[in-house]
Amino acid sequence: MKYKKVSGSFSFLTLLFLSFLTLQQASGQIKVLMETNMGNIKLLLYDKTPQHRDNFIKLVKAHYYDSLLFHRCIQNFMIQGGDPDSKHAPSDMMLGDGGPDYTIPAEFDPSLFHKKGALAAARESDLDNLKQASSGSQFYIVQGRVFTDSLLRTNQAKRITKMKLFNEVINRPEYKSYLEKYNGFVKAKNADSVRAVYEFFNKKVEKEFETAMLYQFSEEQKKAYTTVGGTPHLDASYTVFGEVIEGLEIVDKIAEQKTDGNNRPINEVRIIKMSIIP
């Protein structure tokens, strides 16, 4: 799927709409400047997600993110960073598991969603993370793509529904023993058994999906995803806690980098430093 670039008056209208969303969603003005070796990105943090906001501010002030890599970049999707193991990682090192020894409770808000430029928290999968708690440090910035009305309605709504339904199913009390077995298989590194438990839950979800209520997009979401673009299938499953207010072209540039088999850029994309700005 190719990202649709806009131009002319439509591009101007899109930028106006993005600015409107920024003013509508953020009551505070906590801003962060992210300097990278490919250019600068300015971020606005939302007051509606105070635990994520305060944690990000704490890490920025402690220079936690300085010299870390964007270790996972997927064009038309997102760019991910914040793994402390990436600071001195050799080119063949697998990244994505590093971070502080705590998580942040999910702070889902229907008015904060995955439009292009959204800043969100990475996290472990639902089977390992029943409450969908966020990583203590890893984040991603959405690049995404622009959707048509029909694709947004028929494809993405179903993907969101299945993701939410999967989390609902695995949290049911009657499946507690299956989760205990799953955790044992993970510790024992029994890949076949881990896969079998996943398939068990997946079949349950598929069976219930036909009668499940589809996720409903708000008018704001529909407008954003069909103009600015984004990654709507992540809504209500990952916490969005800020957005890019300057430097979307740098996000595009980073997302377009050539990567290896683990989606790590061949040529390092490094955060030089982050700082709180007026």
pLDDT at 9 (0 to 100): 36
- The ranges assigned to domains in the chain are 8-148+229-277, 152-209
DSSP state of 155: I
240 DSSP β-pair partners: 120
| Counts of helices then strands in the chain (DSSP H, E) | 8, 10
254 near 55, Cβ under 8 Å?
Answer: no
pLDDT at 12 (0 to 100): 41
If the chain, 278 residues long, is cut into consecutive pieces of 10 residues, what is the mean pLDDT of each piece? 32 44 54 98 97 98 98 98 97 93 96 97 94 97 94 78 89 93 92 93 90 84 95 94 98 97 96 96
pLDDT at 277 (0 to 100): 95
C-alpha triplet 96, 98, 103: angle, nearest 5°: 105
- Per-residue CA distances from 26 to 59, 127, 213, 221 (Å): 21, 32, 30, 16
121 near 108, Cβ under 8 Å?
Answer: no
Q: Which CATH number fits domain 8-148+229-277: 3.20.10.10, 2.40.100.10, 3.40.309.10, 3.90.650.10?
A: 2.40.100.10
- Tokens 């299938």 correspond to 233
Q: Which H or E run includes 11?
A: helix 8-25
Contacts of 36 (CB under 8 A, 6+ apart): 70, 250, 254, 269, 270, 271, 272
pLDDT at 157 (0 to 100): 73
* pLDDT tens track for 184-210: 999 999 999 999 999 999 999 999 988
C-alpha triplet 121, 140, 56: angle, nearest 5°: 50
Q: What is the model's pTM?
A: 0.84
Q: Which H or E run includes 20?
A: helix 8-25
268 near 87, Cβ under 8 Å?
Answer: no
* pLDDT tens track for 87-132: 999 998 999 999 999 999 999 999 999 999 999 999 999 999 999 9
Phi, psi (5° rounding) for residue 20?
-60, -45
